[in-house]
Amino acid sequence: MLRTVIIFRSETMLRLLLLLLLLLPLSLLSGSVSLSPSEVCSALWGEGNETLRFIVWERRLPQTATALLAGMALSAVGLVLQTLFANPLADPSLLGIHSGASLGAAVSFLLFGGSFSLGVLTAGGLCLTVFSAFLGACGVILLLALCSRIVHGTLGLLIVGVMISFAVSALVSLLSFYAAADGLQQFIVWGFGSFANVGLEILPFFAGLILLALLLLLPFVPALDALLLGDDYARNLGIRVRRSRTLLLLIGGFLVAVTTSLCGPISFIGMAVPHLARLSLRSGSHRRLLPATLLWGGNIALLALMLSHLPGERGTFPLAAITPLFGVPAVLWVLLRKRRDI
């Protein structure tokens, strides 16, 4: 029986990996401009005309890599938060980090009009938006870190996060009410979410930050397994619960801050993907759940990227209209399962 379970889980991981290897080239083929596999391969090898190389190297390759990394980051944070708060519906927006990034972006678009000058220092466009959104998200992370030293227990910290989210959303609404039409439109477009904001020159920096933060999660896998059984059990195993929880929140918050500042608020991936991993593995061990969650997150984000491309030259759908297609069924499944267990 044990051997059958191990083989089943190994086959599941292999299927997820094969699906990822299939979706990566398919995402390079999908877009408003129809390209054949031979044209994409030629462009990747530096051959073909300049327009073809621009489409593949400057557009599709960065979008594919960004979708993969963002999906992995948000799904990993969702898994960590669902374990820490013992809440199957927890996701990266729960602690107000998305709202903090939205406040930073709102300040950039609505208060400064997308550009800022201080003496000889000038910032504008995507650079200012990313910087402002990152500062807003980091501000919420630091506030949560301070509150974790005062508030005891995960429930209290969860309530603090929800209150921060409400307060920040109120500030964003106030800025939106007095904003000019152009700035408000830019902020709304940013709020739809997009994997196209990360260019080829920013991609190594973005990938380095995401991969570094994901590697920092690995030493906490035993602590996550212990926390599934409660704080007291984790302490008996020698886990420093408060320290582990604070560091996990900081790492998760950093992942959300980096992803949201560049891609905008992307909903439902962090909530839905961990449940897909649990359903496919039928295991609660984070040693298996974390890799499966990363693979599922990358696959779902790549699927969302491909579904966002409209056929022909009709443009793209916003990610905010695509990710609920995966998230809503997962939430309904969790609710129906809990009702059946009752």
Whether 169 contacts 99, CB under 8 Å: yes
> Is the pLDDT score of 5 beyond 50?
no
C-alpha–C-alpha distance, residues 209 and 130, integer Å: 14
pLDDT at residue 9, rounded to an integer: 62
CB 66 within 8 A of CB 58: no
| One-letter amino acid of 208 | G
pLDDT digits (tens, 9 = 90+) for 197-226: 888 888 998 899 899 999 999 999 998 988
Strand partners, 309: 316
Is the pLDDT confidence value at 74 over 90? yes
Give the pLDDT score at 208. Answer: 92
Instruction: Quote the tokens at residue 113.
Output: 């009009």
Helix (H) or strand (E) holding 249: helix 241-263
Give dist(CA 266, CA 206) in Å, integer: 16
pLDDT range class, residue 71, cuts 50, 70, 90:
very high
- Residue 20: the pLDDT is 94
Half-sphere exposure of 212 (CA within 13 A, CB side): 8
Top pLDDT among 39 and 120 is at: 39
**Per mean pLDDT, which of 52-56, 66-70, 123-127 is the most reliable?**
66-70
pLDDT at 55 over 90: no
| 330 vs 135, higher pLDDT | 135
pLDDT digits (tens, 9 = 90+) for 152-202: 666 777 788 788 888 888 888 888 887 777 777 877 887 888 898 888 888
Distance of CA 236 to CAs 227, 284, 286, Å?
Answer: 11, 20, 19
Per DSSP, the three-state class of 273 is helix
> What's the pLDDT at 152?
66
SS3 content of the chain, % helix, strand, coil (to 5): 75, 5, 20
Task: Return phi, psi of residue 118, to 5°.
Answer: -140, 95
Q: Tens of pLDDT along 80-112?
A: 988 887 777 777 777 777 788 888 878 877 776
Q: Measuring CA to CA, which residue among 112, 103, 108, 66 is closest to residue 207?
A: 66
pLDDT at residue 65 tops 90: yes
Give the pLDDT band (50/70/90) at residue 333. confident
| Residue recorded with tokens 């918050």 | 253
Give the tens place of pLDDT for each residue, 22-47. 999 999 988 777 788 888 888 888 77
The C-alpha atoms of residue 85 and residue 77 are separated, in whole angstroms, by 12
CA-CA distance, 39 to 49, in Å (whole number)?
10
For the chain, percent of residues with pLDDT exceeding 90 = 19
Q: Is the pLDDT of residue 115 over 60?
A: no
Q: Does 118 or 293 have the greater pLDDT score?
A: 293
Q: What is the pLDDT of residue 136?
A: 82
Question: CA of 204: how far to CAs of 66, 208, 301, 329, in Å?
Answer: 10, 6, 19, 34
* pLDDT of amino acid 293: 94
The domain limits of the chain are 43-341
Nearest alpha carbon to residue 91 among 292, 283, 275, 272: 272
pLDDT at 290: 92
Percent of the chain residues topping a pLDDT of 70: 87
Domain 43-341 superfamily per CATH: ABC transporter involved in vitamin B12 uptake, BtuC (1.10.3470.10)
Query: Per-residue pLDDT averaged across 310-325, rounded?
Result: 75
**Residue 161 · residue 245 · CB < 8 Å:** no
- Report the pLDDT value the prediction gives residue 76, as an integer from 0 to 100: 94
Encode pLDDT of 248-262 as tens digits: 888 888 888 888 878
Residue 121: per-residue pLDDT:
37
